[in-house]
Amino acid sequence: MAGAFAAEAPKRILFIGNSYTGVNQLPVVFGEILKSAGAGTPIIKSSTPGGQTLLQHCTVQPKSLAAIDEGSWDVVVLQGHSQEAARAAVNPKIRAGFLAGAQQLCARVRAKSPQARIYFYETWARHPDFWTAKDFNPEVGQDPKEMQARIRQGYAEAAKLCQATAVVPAGDAWELNDLTAPPLRLHQKDNSHPEFAGTYLNALVFYRVIYQPKDLQVAYHGKATEVEAARLLDLAARVPVATR
């Protein structure tokens, strides 16, 4: 597989996030994809306490900071609360916290791992059923399309402010799925967290952005059926991505 990847293969990868990273063990699924694609077996670690914002990783999550402080990371992935970026579009306090958390985490990463490539993990909108649920929060937008647009804008702003390597547009891949009839069910029944198919799609998008393979030849599909995996591979291959 030598020469099959446009980006240098990292040896150490760290994920900082919450349950959107932890559910279904996204870092593990990502590692399995790398192995099956012949992309190597890097050390992959994570800190994923539930419900945390970017700023909370800096202030109340010493394990996240300790993981960053191990240093020598080649890639660090940062993911905020699932509603944080969407609410930041209309709530100045949340926007300030979101961007402050992004800046503080990036500064800490660079202090301990100057060579690290930093990626922001763009998450996805809630399932349409969320807008009829009791826990509906109108601050996230009036529908999935608006929520995803806000999430996209929020992470793009954070990445630009922090001069990150790229945004990993997992949420855009979910939106592309919603536009493909019939869409696969990627959300769990809570209309928020990912089913395995959603986690697998996210991991494929991470592989595409970080490794920039010439094509997505991935044998591993975990709990996804071969038919589902083929559709998810197609989505990951078609979602627009950009790197600095």
The domain that holds 161 is classified in CATH as 3.40.50.1110
If you average pLDDT over residues 80-108, what whole number do you get?
98
Give the bridge partners for 77, in sequence order: 15, 119
Q: Quote the domain boundaries for residue 43.
A: 12-238
Question: What pLDDT was estimated at residue 244?
Answer: 61
Is residue 3 in a domain? no
Counting the structural domains of the chain, the total is: 1
Q: What value, to the nearest 5°, has the Cα angle with vertex 17 and ends 12 and 20?
A: 115
Following CA atoms 76, 121, 158, 40 in sequence, which dihedral angle do they give, to the nearest 10 degrees? 30
Residue with tokens 């709990």: 223
Coil, helix or strand at residue 94: helix
Residue with tokens 């790229």: 166
Find, among 52, 206, 36, the residue nearest to 121 by Cα.
206
Is residue 75 in a domain? yes
Sheet strands side by side (includes 43-47): 43-47, 12-16, 75-78, 117-121, 166-168
Is residue 6 in a domain? no
24: left (phi over 0), alpha (psi -120 to 50) or beta: left
Per-residue b/e over 196-231, b at no fewer than 16 CB within 10 Å?
bbbbbbbbbbbbbbbbebeebebebbbebeeebbeb
Is residue 7 in a domain? no
- Reply yes or no on whether the pLDDT at 140 is more than 60: yes
- Reply yes or no on whether the pLDDT at 141 is more than 70: yes
If you average pLDDT over residues 196-215, what whole number do you get?
97
State the Cα–Cα distance between residues 61 and 52, nearest whole angstrom: 9
Is residue 218 in a domain? yes
Is residue 174 in a domain? yes
Question: What pLDDT was estimated at residue 6?
Answer: 74
State the Cα–Cα distance between residues 241 and 232, nearest whole angstrom: 16
Residue with tokens 């800490």: 108
Is residue 1 in a domain? no
Q: What percent of the chain has pLDDT over 70?
A: 98
State the Cα–Cα distance between residues 155 and 175, nearest whole angstrom: 16
If you average pLDDT over residues 98-126, what whole number do you get?
98
Is residue 202 in a domain? yes
- Reply yes or no on whether the pLDDT at 39 is more than 80: yes
Q: Which pLDDT band holds residue 3 (cuts at 50, 70, 90)?
A: very low
Structure tokens at 36: 């099956």
Question: What pLDDT was estimated at residue 174?
Answer: 98
